[in-house]
Homo-oligomer: A and B are copies of this chain.
Amino acid sequence: MDTPSNTTSLEQLKDAYEEARGKHLKLNMSRGKPAPSQLDLSSALLGAMDSYMTADGTDARNYGILDGIPECRQLFADLLGLNPDRMIIGGNSSLSLMFDIVAALCLFGTGGNRPWQHYRYAGTPVKFLCPSPGYDRHFRICEELGIEMIPIPLNEEGPDMDLVTTLVRQDPLIKGIWCVPLHSNPGGVCYSSRVVEELASMETAARDFRIFWDNAYGIHHIYEEVALKNILDACEKHGHPERTYYFFSTSKITFPGAGVALIASGPGNIKELKGHMSAQIISYDKLNQLRHVRHFKTPENIRAHMAMLADELRPKFDLVLSKLEMGLKGTGFASWSRPKGGYFISLDTRPGCARRTVALAKEAGVVLTDAGATYPYGKDEKDSNIRIAPSYPTLEELDAAMDIFILCIKIAALETNNSK
């Protein structure tokens, strides 16, 4: 199907749409799932191992070592420039670590400060700053735990720091900020060193203000390697060693369902977390940690693996971007991100067109992330942002899906024009 030209009438677009709808396609660009071809690149990780003994003589099959086997902590410490003694390797999900830590802060507080639940019961719930558009599952954690969310514009080099610094200086109920500092979900924003420095050094009214640093795409470069200033070092330098919880996982390195996740933080936080975790679990899956260590061995090997994954993803991003360029450039119907890495392309329709576009696409068999999902409470005030996840479909599927998607953007835009 050819994308109708940019001067096509609404009627012609609708004819093309009906034709597409008649094909009963089932295409999905909704979630950041790696494609099977990406997963296959880690197959060798899943074989039997010669021995199940860790370097310190622990049997990885048995109970023990709450914070993860030393060689696994060392591998990720070397990869990310972290301190292996200020790290806990968790299970298969960094999201779980995030939820568990926010829940622990609600239930127990941190550093002798009041549990965050206290404020909820006092009628003044704590608040989180939410650079937006952002990751829907971060916002879901806040909603679940009754934490109020304040959207913060996410600019080219990170959150609007004038707004952030003003708010955290004034309001002691602001206890946290969600950050995806590299190749952000969905906008592909990479935080500049200046932003990292400001986050680390800023004055906060809350003594227990915390940065939730979800470095999910920390080594997930596609077009260009982007450096990120080490926030834990910066926080320590500025006298706030406990300010940041740093998350990472291999969900998009090895297997989304069966990777390993980690949390790194200041020495006080790590000690506190181990205390809480010791009531929750005896040890995470050390065999899977050992599999990852034996498979990769060095940070260099992990980076080489990421280059192969980037080779899988690049043609898909190329296709989406060139389709958008061909179909929408100059129309004024949409603008979009040109990410250097990560898993998403963020697209902004004209105000008031996102929901309609997503609904039209769904009706024609193309599933996108729900419009609004990239904002706290699912409320995109402008009704404009749509997240495109190009990783899972094949190039052929992506090609068909993008044609329909672009058609829907145009129809929604022209409908809005007409109704004005």
Contact = CB atoms under 8 A, between A and B. Distances in A.
A281 B39 contact: no
A357 interface: no
Contact of A281 (B48, B64, B95, B286): B95
Report copies per complex. 2
26 contacts: A31-B63, A36-B62, A43-B48, A46-B48, A46-B287, A61-B258, A62-B255, A62-B256, A63-B251, A91-B284, A92-B285, A93-B281, A95-B281, A103-B103, A103-B107, A106-B107, A107-B107, A117-B117, A121-B121, A137-B279, A137-B282, A141-B280, A143-B279, A256-B283, A257-B284, A258-B285
Contacts of A255: 61-62, 287
A59 B39 contact: yes
A33 interface: yes
Contacts of A169: none
Interface of A is mostly: loop
Interface string A26-40: 000001011010010
Contacts of A63: 31, 33, 251, 256-257
A287 B257 contact: yes
Nearest to A31: B63
Interface bin, chain A: 35 or more
A64 B286 contact: no
A112 interface: no
A145 interface: yes
A121 to B, nearest CB: 5
Given A48-B48, A62-B34, A256 B280 contact: no
Interface string A249-271: 00100011110000000000000
Interface string A55-84: 000011111100000000000000000000
A24 interface: no
A251 B286 CA distance: 13
A395 B256 CA distance: 43
A285 B48 contact: no
A140 interface: yes
Interface string A88-128: 00011101100110010011000000000110010000000
A47 interface: yes
A99 to B, nearest CB: 4
A227 interface: no
Contact of A145 (B107, B143, B144, B145): B107
A281 to B, nearest CB: 5
A257 to B, nearest CB: 5
A184 interface: no
Q: Which 6 A-B pairs give the minimum distances between C-beta atoms?
A: A144-B279, A258-B287, A99-B280, A61-B255, A47-B48, A63-B256
A304 interface: no
